[in-house]
Structures are given as structure tokens and as C-alpha cells.
Amino acid sequence: MRPQTDNKKALILATLIRMLEQPHAGRITTAALAQQLDQSEAALYRHFSSKAALFESLIDSARAQLLEDLNHIAATESDGCRKLRKQLHALLLFTERHPGLTRVLTGEALVTEHPRLQIQVNALIDDLEALLRHAAQAAIDAGSLQPRDTADSAVYANTLMLWVQGRWLRYTQTGWQALPTHEHEPQLALLGL
């Protein structure tokens, strides 16, 4: 791909993200996106084959960054509980810094879009949960995390991922007012971290 094409794609994606960052934004159309870019819809389709392809690029970008962040933490932090806390903080901080992508990760921006986009987000959530499960298992094995009753690392990681998704959703519902990282540490303490 030529650098000029890459720059144009990046500009289109950045504009879409900016539009998604508007609190309580409705459905974003390619016509509205083209208008923001001061170009025709046909010009958008020269860079992306469909509106779904635009969202797929956003999801791929979020996936790459989140997995890189969580894998880096996994590689550099040996204590399972600290690893979990850092990974959870990274998930919250990512969305706090990228509110437009939060609307995509919660599915809010995808409600009227192609169903494969939500499937793609669900796969990302599963991958994130798997990384949390590995950290939880390491903490359980080291004795620093004591799950109640028969809860194992999979149940624990699922609970933590649901907690993260709830914080993301609250962020979108409040128009970016309820920051995902606000008072998250006392809540993690209640969850045994």
C-alpha cells in the first residue's frame, strides 16, 4: 500500500473515532463520515470496501493494542495478583483514553451494523478473558489468590471480564463522565485482588 493511501485510511479512521467520541452519538452513516471529511462517499469506498470494513479496522486496531499491553504485563510481572491488577487497569485505562473505541467494544456503535462485527468484538473479549485466566491461574497456583468454594481461574477471569465490561458500559452510558478507572482499586479489593 502506498503511504498516501495509508495516510488517507488513517484520517478516515481518526474521523470515525472522533465521531464515535461524541457522547450519546447516534448511528454514524457513511454519508455523515464523508461530510466530516469533506469528500464523497465514493471516496471512502476507494479506501474501505464497506462500512463494516471501517469498523473491522477499528476493532483490529483495538485488538492489537490491548493484546500487546496485556501480553507485555504478563511477560514483565511475575506475581499473579499484581499481574491481574495491572491487566485490569490497562483494560480500563485503554477505554478511558479511547472513548470512541469504547462504544465499539461495548457493542453500542455496532447495534445496527453487520452482525459479524459483534462476533469480532466477542472474539476479542474471549482473548482478553483468556489472558486474565492465565494470570488468575498463576495467582491461584502461587497461593496469592484464594477463590471461594469451587471457583477456578476460568470462573474468576469471567467475573473480572464482566466487571470490566460493566465499567466500559457505564462510561458510555454517562457520556464519558463515569471514568472506568475511578475508584476501581477498592472494587478490586472486594474481588480479592
Which range is most confident: 35-39, 40-44, 91-95? 91-95
- Contact between 90 and 35 under an 8 Å Cβ cutoff? The reply is no
pLDDT for 147 equals 65
Residue 141, CB-side half-sphere exposure with 13 Å CA sphere: 9
pLDDT at 49 over 80: yes
The Cα–Cα gap between 153 and 139 comes to: 9
pLDDT for 17 equals 95
Tell me the Ramachandran region of residue 176: left when phi exceeds 0, alpha when psi lies from -120 to 50, beta otherwise.
Answer: left
Q: Which residues contact 15 (CB under 8 A, 6 or more apart)?
A: 33, 36, 37
pLDDT at 144 over 90: no
In Å, how far are 11, 13, 99, 106, 191 from 19, measured between CA atoms? 12, 10, 10, 16, 35
pLDDT at 15 over 90: yes
Query: What is the pTM for the complete model shown?
Result: 0.91
pLDDT at 25 over 80: no
In Å, how far are 5, 9, 10, 90 from 164, measured between CA atoms? 36, 30, 28, 10
pLDDT at 80 over 70: yes
Nearest to 176 by CA among 24, 26, 27, 13: 24
At residue 62 the predicted structure's pLDDT band, cuts being 50, 70 and 90, is very high
**Burial class, 100, CB count within 10 angstroms (exposed 0-12 / middle 13-18 / buried 19+):** buried
- Contact between 99 and 171 under an 8 Å Cβ cutoff? The reply is yes
| Average model confidence (pLDDT) across the chain | 92
At residue 168 the predicted structure's pLDDT band, cuts being 50, 70 and 90, is very high
pLDDT for 150 equals 54
Lowest average pLDDT, out of 6-10, 98-102, 130-134, goes to: 6-10
Mean pLDDT to the nearest integer, 163-177: 96
Cell numbers of 30, please? 457513511
